[in-house]
């Protein structure tokens, strides 16, 4: 395949997360070690074994108009909010619509709508079901809504690869530009499924933390006392541009996206395989033209599960080594599933841009099996010339992205 290796830069950032309604507040909270994980106060959670989550800091209804909120699923809402921010941050590029693409990944799409409308159907019959149900529940809804918002006509794509979806969206955005199919790509991930069925399912699978009495301390990647992840919601979006296109319009750049790799384990539907993760990291680094020793920071997928954290620690050690600083921001945000990889990319870009690495919260006793240099206690300052971020998902999906200054 003849690939034109255009240099690709990040010119826009947007987010709405459990830490803040935008990038500035989310980043400030990360650096301050402020947790976005709280108790679920709604009555529906009272009988569940898990009653904690990373809920949005700012409700979409405070940002979007009333009609838009009524006609869109929460997953679509957070995607729109993050995309608008990223587009504005990029300076609203003047780009031919035929050269503008959107790639928004999600793990579950409009799960809240699907479950709620099924309840309506069962309780009140077909005439009470919303006519907007299908556009609200379909997984491609977030990408479609953003493409309509921006007038993007070079494609509206939706990777659905569980918790790797947001990172895979960014990897696909890189490919679209390098292959000459777009000059600008709005890429990221969105998820909003804090509702009974997903929580019950993860609880039954023993994957979710049950520290209901101490929400802020529940997510503890690499800590010896970790007992599972915490469900979260939100979105993060980046604007990717061909570097010469961005330079011609005088755009500011946050970082460069220099490498990406997508692999699959072909092993197990839920269990992680370090071998597949190693291949993703090695391929992303090789594609970037760097060597493993050039990677100064790894933003770990690190969800706070016993098996998953150890598999990643092993794979990072093998693929890169023990020299890079490692951080795990899910300790603060919770696990945003399809948006997680995009939030990880956001934190990585900001660390590269600002020369500061957020600390991993709740790391009180590092698991002795983890030999990595995990940043804990306080942020670590200093130049971050190159960084890698990981995102792994059920089904054996592995994505690694490499950013440089």
* Phi, psi torsion values for 20, nearest 5 degrees: 180, 160
- Residue 170's contacts (CB-CB under 8 Å, 6 or more residues apart) are 103, 187, 188, 238, 240, 257, 260, 341, 342, 345, 401
Is 401 contained in some domain?
no
Q: CA 340, CA 343: separation in Å to the nearest integer?
A: 5
Which of the four pLDDT bands, split at 50, 70 and 90, describes residue 5?
A: low
Q: What is the number of helices (H) and of strands (E) in the chain? A: 13, 15
CA distances to 78, 188, 243, 377, 405 from 354, in Å = 25, 21, 20, 19, 10
Q: Is 301 tagged catalytic?
A: yes
Q: Is 208 tagged catalytic?
A: no
Which of the four pLDDT bands, split at 50, 70 and 90, describes residue 4?
A: very low
Q: Whole-structure pTM over 0.85, yes or no?
A: yes
Is 404 contained in some domain?
no
- Residue 173's contacts (CB-CB under 8 Å, 6 or more residues apart) are 101, 103, 182, 185, 186, 187, 238, 240
- DSSP character string of 42-74: SGGGTTSS--EEE--SS-GGGTS-HHHHHHS-H
Q: CA 68, CA 74: separation in Å to the nearest integer?
A: 10
* Span 105-115, average pLDDT: 96
pLDDT tens digits, one per residue of 128-175: 999 999 999 999 999 999 999 999 999 999 999 999 999 999 999 999
Residues 24 and 68 grouped into a single domain = yes
Q: CA 156, CA 159: separation in Å to the nearest integer?
A: 10
Residues 245 and 302 grouped into a single domain = no
Q: Is 195 tagged catalytic?
A: no
Is 389 contained in some domain?
yes
Residues 148 and 182 grouped into a single domain = yes
Residues 174 and 266 grouped into a single domain = no
- Residue 41's contacts (CB-CB under 8 Å, 6 or more residues apart) are none
Average pLDDT, the chain: 97
Catalytic hit among 163, 195, 208, 254: 163
State which of 197, 214, 249 marks the end of a domain: 249
Q: Is the pLDDT of residue 389 over 60?
A: yes
Q: CA 280, CA 75: separation in Å to the nearest integer?
A: 28
Residues 95 and 228 grouped into a single domain = yes
What is the percent of the chain where pLDDT is above 90?
A: 97
Structure tokens at 74: 């929460």
Residues 284 and 216 grouped into a single domain = no
Residues 239 and 267 grouped into a single domain = no
Is 239 contained in some domain?
yes
State which of 206, 230, 249 marks the end of a domain: 249
* Phi, psi torsion values for 232, nearest 5 degrees: -140, 175
Residues 201 and 307 grouped into a single domain = no
State which of 225, 249, 273 marks the end of a domain: 249
| H or E element at residue 85 | helix 74-89
Residues 166 and 91 grouped into a single domain = yes
pLDDT at 273 (0 to 100): 83
Is 402 contained in some domain?
no
Residues 323 and 266 grouped into a single domain = yes
Residues 148 and 270 grouped into a single domain = no
Q: At what angle do helices 196-204 and 111-124 cross, to 10 degrees?
A: 110
Catalytic hit among 157, 208, 299, 335: 335
Domain holding 122, by residue range, is 8-249
Catalytic hit among 157, 254, 299, 301: 301
The CATH number for 344's domain is 3.40.47.10
pLDDT tens digits, one per residue of 29-82: 999 999 999 999 999 999 999 999 999 999 999 999 999 999 999 999 999 999
Is 140 contained in some domain?
yes
pLDDT tens digits, one per residue of 241-287: 999 999 999 999 999 999 999 999 999 999 888 999 999 999 999 99
Domain count within the chain: 2
Residues 242 and 271 grouped into a single domain = no
């Amino acid at each position: 395949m003849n690939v034109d290796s255009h240099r690709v830069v990040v010119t826009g950032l947007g987010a709405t997360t459990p830490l803040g309604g935008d990038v500035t507040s989310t980043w400030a909270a990360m650096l301050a070690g402020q947790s976005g994980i709280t108790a679920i106060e709604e009555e529906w959670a009272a009988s569940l074994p898990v009653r904690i989550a990373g809920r949005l800091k700012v409700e979409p209804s405070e940002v979007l108009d009333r009609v838009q909120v009524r006609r869109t699923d929460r997953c679509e809402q957070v995607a729109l909010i993050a995309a608008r921010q990223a587009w504005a941050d990029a300076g609203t590029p003047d780009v031919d619509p035929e050269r503008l693409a959107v790639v928004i990944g999600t793990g579950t799409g409009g799960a809240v709508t699907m479950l709620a409308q099924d309840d309506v159907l069962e309780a009140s019959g077909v005439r009470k079901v919303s006519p907007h149900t299908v556009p609200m529940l379909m997984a491609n809804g977030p990408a479609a809504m953003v493409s309509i918002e921006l007038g993007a006509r070079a494609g509206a794509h939706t990777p659905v690869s569980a918790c790797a979806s947001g990172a895979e969206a960014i990897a696909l955005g890189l490919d679209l530009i390098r292959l000459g199919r777009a000059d600008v790509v709005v890429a990221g991930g969105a998820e909003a499924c804090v509702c009974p069925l997903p929580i019950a399912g993860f609880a039954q699978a023993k994957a979710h933390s049950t520290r209901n009495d101490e929400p802020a301390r529940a997510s503890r990647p690499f800590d010896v006392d970790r007992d599972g992840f915490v469900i979260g919601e939100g979105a993060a979006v980046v604007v990717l541009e061909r570097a010469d296109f961005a330079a011609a319009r005088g755009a500011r750049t946050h970082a460069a996206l220099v490498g990406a790799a997508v692999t699959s384990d072909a092993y197990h539907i839920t269990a992680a395989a370090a071998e597949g993760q190693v291949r993703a990291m090695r391929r992303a680094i090789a594609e970037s033209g760097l060597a493993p020793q050039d990677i100064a920071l790894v933003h770990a997928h690190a969800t706070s599960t016993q098996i998953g954290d150890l598999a990643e620690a092993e794979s990072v050690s093998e693929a890169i080594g023990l020299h890079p600083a490692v951080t795990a921001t899910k300790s603060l945000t919770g696990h945003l599933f399809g948006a997680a990889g995009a939030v990880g990319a956001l934190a990585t870009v900001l660390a590269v841009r600002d020369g500061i690495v957020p600390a991993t919260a709740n790391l009180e006793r590092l698991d002795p099996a983890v030999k990595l240099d995990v940043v804990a206690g306080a942020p670590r300052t200093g130049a971050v010339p190159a960084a890698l971020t990981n995102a792994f998902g059920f089904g054996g999906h592995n994505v690694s992205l490499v950013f440089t200054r």
